[in-house]
Amino acid sequence: MKITVTVAEPYLSQIGGVADQLRSAGMEIDQVLDALGMITGSVSAGRLAAVEALDGVASVDQPMGFELPDPGDEVQ
């Protein structure tokens, strides 16, 4: 599952180390967004709790998706 990890403020200067811990916990890192304090990637559902419990992790969020109807569909 795709996730975005927000790094806790006291750990922002150590975001690379947090990324290393996330990798060790089973997360596949896509991007480390230093300026935003976020790390994006994916992790199996079974490893999600381990990622959430790491020092330096403020929150773990899953992207919200939506789907637009086809142009020819009736509007409800």
Residue with the larger pLDDT of the pair 76 and 72: 72
Q: Cα 64 to chain center, whole Å?
A: 12
> Which of the two residues, 60 and 68, has the higher pLDDT score?
60
Q: How far, in Å, CA of 5 to CA of 37, rounded? A: 8
All domains of the chain, ordered by start, with CATH?
2-61 (3.30.70)
> How confident is the model over 62-73, as pLDDT tens digits?
988 777 778 888
pTM of the model: 0.83
**What would the pLDDT profile of 32-59 be if each residue is shown by its tens digit?**
999 999 999 999 999 999 999 999 999 9
Q: Can you give the pLDDT at residue 76?
A: 60
